[in-house]
Amino acid sequence: MSNHRKGVIALFIAALAFAVNGIVSKLVLEAGLSAWRLAEIRSTGAFAFFLFYALLFKRSAFRFELRALPEMLVYGIIGYACVQAFYFVAILRMPVSVGLIIEFTAPIWIALWVRFVRKQHVPRTMWLAVFLAFSGLLLIAQVWKGLIFDGIGLIAAFLDAFALTAYFLLGEKWGKRVATETLMLYGFGISMLFWWIAFPIWSYPTEIFSKEIDIRGQAAGTIASGWMLILFVIVIGTIIPYIGNLIGITKTSASSASVIGMLEPVLAGIFAWIWLSETFNVIQLIGAAAVIAGIYIATKTRATTQQIVPE
C-alpha cells in the first residue's frame, strides 16, 4: 500500500472518530457535565497521553523557545481550550451537524482575514465560496422564520469557528517553526492549565464518572457509565483523530488533509440522524450542501494560492 493511500485512510479514520465524538460528547453534556468541565477532562487526558509519548519516543518535542511563550499561550487557550469549549456549548444547544457546519466555515473567515487584514489578493473563486457558505447558513437557519435554533448555541458555534480560524492561522505560523508533536504537547498542556485555573481540578464533579447514561437512538435502553463515555471522548474523540491527522498530513499534504477533514460534518450529520434522530428539512439540506461546497472551494483555493504565492 502506498504512503499516500495510508495517509488518506488515516485522515478518514480521524474524520470518522471526530464525527462520532460529537454524538458521544452530546450524551455526556446532556447527562449534566458542563461544556467547560468536559473540555477540561478532554485536554487533561490528551495532554497526559502526548506527554507520555514524548517522554518515551520523542524527547525533542519538549524543545521550545521561552521568548515565544506569550504567543504560545494565546495559541493554547484560543486554539485548544476555546475551540473545544465553544464546540461543546454549540452541540449541547443545537444539532451536532449544524454546530459542525458552522465551525467548519473557518476557511471562509481565514479568506476574509487574508484579504482585509493582511491586505493580500484573494482569488475570485474564494468569493464564490463565501457566497455559497453564507447563503447556505441562511437556509440552514431559515432566517425568514425567525431564529429557529437556540441563540446561545448559534453564538457559541460562530465563536467556535472564529477560534478555529485563529487555531489554523497560528498553527500555520508555528508549523513552520516547531514539530507538530510540540504543538499538540504544549497546546493541550496550556489548555489543561487554563481549565485547571478557571475550574480547579480538585472540585471536579466526579459523580459524572459513576452516572449511568442511556446512549439512546438505535441502542435506546443500553446503559453506559459516565467514565466509559468520557474515556471514549479522550481516546476515540481526541487522541486517535489527532494522531490520524498527523499521519495523514505527513503522508499526503495539508490541503488534502483539510479537504478530507470536511467529511466530519457530513458523517456527523449521518450519525446524528441515525443515532439521535436529528433531521434537516429539504431547504436545510440544500443549505448544508451549499455550505460544504463553499468550504470545499475555499479550502482548495487557499491551498492553490499558497502553492503559487508562499507566505
pLDDT for residue 308: 37
pLDDT for residue 296: 79
In the chain, what are the domain boundaries?
3-121+150-279
| pLDDT tens digits for range 171-220 | 777 766 777 788 889 999 999 999 999 999 999 999 999 999 998 877 77
**pTM score, whole prediction:** 0.86
Q: What parts of the chain have a pLDDT lower than 70?
A: 141, 143-148, 175-176, 249-250, 252-259, 261-262, 299, 301-311
Q: Count CB atoms within 10 A of the CB of residue 193.
A: 17
pLDDT for residue 307: 44
